[in-house]
Amino acid sequence: MAQHEDVPAERVLDVASQIADRLLDLQSRINRQIDATQSELLPDVARQLGHDDAEAVDLTGLVNTRIAGLSIVVTPEAVATLVPLSARSAATTRAGRRALTDIVAGADGRLAVIAGPCSIHDPVATLEYAAFLRGMRDRHADDLEIVMRAYTEKPRTEVDWKGFAYDPYLDGSSRISVGLVATRMLMCRITAMGVPVAAEPLNALTPQYLDGLVTYNGVGARNVTDQTARERVSGFSSVIGFKNSPEGSIEVAVQAVMAARAPHEFLGVDRHGMTAQLSTTGNDTGHVILRGDRMGPNYSAAHIADTRARLLERGLPAVVVVDASHGNSRKDHRRQADVVHDLAGQVAAGEQAIRGVMLESNLVAGRQDLDQERPGELEYGVSVTDACVDLGTTAAMLDELAAAARARR
């Protein structure tokens, strides 16, 4: 067992802060050494290339004109060294990826379910929810492959809290290094419990901090048209899905699947945080996630048939995951049960294209507003982003989906 797995849930942020502080001090020393080495060696390189007489230019008002601050962050390699995967975590991710890959490929007749909070913000509540899902996984192992939604990055249409990885104290302090360490600690703890995790990476750099921990990555509706996002996931080791756009375009999700299946060359970072050219092989697990749109749901049998036809027309596997929340529930968390009931009927009737379902679920139903001046007053177990269903409703939906998967097989 890794030492960080012994840390009480209520002390995760304290320990993450201690780790981040030590690593930031180390990184400052490393950066000074890099600066000194470059100052010593670059002039000689410039002379060799005939650039040693370059005129000094005043760049005032030209660079960083809107940058209010620049701080170093912990590196993926350093965080992974101090917060390593345990053998149990590695086994969970390996088994989870294999299971979801088989489900997407049609080799496993079970149904995938990605269930969990819209976003996680409280380590204690997060681990309590993970324990609930562990029980559900044991209960439905023959029919469902349940993965925990453990999203710590939140897309925003305008401006709001950006997620646990960016503001772990929920107070606007934006201690990103602490958030990155704490996110890895939590995902290590969840996977050590035997529960695979799902994430939605919004930043090109954050996936490196979770290497080896994520079973399923979803590309959200706001990012599905981003070519750089499509390129990044072409190199992911996880299973990947693409949501239709907020306006309802399924075609952009199909295009994203096509793009992600191809190899790409692009700029990224290595595990030391250094800029690198990345070469990918393409990710053949990509599929469409139907999440509804501003006009309403898109999970009906007719919608599933239309999406299946679009995929087959492009020579892609007819694989669909349905998000029971968002537009499909018309932003009413209570309607997720209605969506699941309809999907269960389709699955039980033999619909093969539906390979998975997403649920927004938490310890307590509903949502609450986050007051960054009073984060300590939040109600325990309630979402601070989209509203979620409670544990009882989640258990009932999982029972119905398991029965449907069993009937289809």
Question: Does 25 reside within a domain?
Answer: no
Question: Does 20 reside within a domain?
Answer: no
Q: Is the pLDDT of residue 53 over 90?
A: no
> Coil, strand or helix: which one is 91?
helix
Q: What is the DSSP letter of 273?
A: S
> Coil, strand or helix: which one is 333?
helix
Q: Is the pLDDT of residue 156 over 90?
A: no
Report d(CA 69, CA 241) in Å as an integer.
35
pLDDT-derived band of residue 159, with 50, 70 and 90 as boundaries? Answer: low
Return the pLDDT at 1. Answer: 57
CA angle 226, 228, 230 (to 5 degrees): 75
Question: Does 163 reside within a domain?
Answer: yes
> Coil, strand or helix: which one is 130?
helix
Question: Does 283 reside within a domain?
Answer: yes
Return the pLDDT at 52. Answer: 80
pLDDT-derived band of residue 59, with 50, 70 and 90 as boundaries? Answer: very high
Q: How many domains does the chain have?
A: 1
- Structural domain containing residue 328: 76-408
Question: Does 39 reside within a domain?
Answer: no
pLDDT-derived band of residue 305, with 50, 70 and 90 as boundaries? Answer: very high
Report d(CA 367, CA 377) in Å as an integer.
14
Q: Is the pLDDT of residue 158 over 70?
A: no
pLDDT-derived band of residue 5, with 50, 70 and 90 as boundaries? Answer: confident
Return the pLDDT at 149. Answer: 98
Question: Does 35 reside within a domain?
Answer: no
158: left (phi over 0), alpha (psi -120 to 50) or beta: alpha
Question: Does 116 reside within a domain?
Answer: yes
CATH of the domain at 399: 3.20.20.70
Which stretches within 314-371 are classed as H helix? Answer: 336-348
Question: Does 391 reside within a domain?
Answer: yes
Return the pLDDT at 203. Answer: 86
User: What are the E-state strand segments in 153-206?
Assistant: 197-199
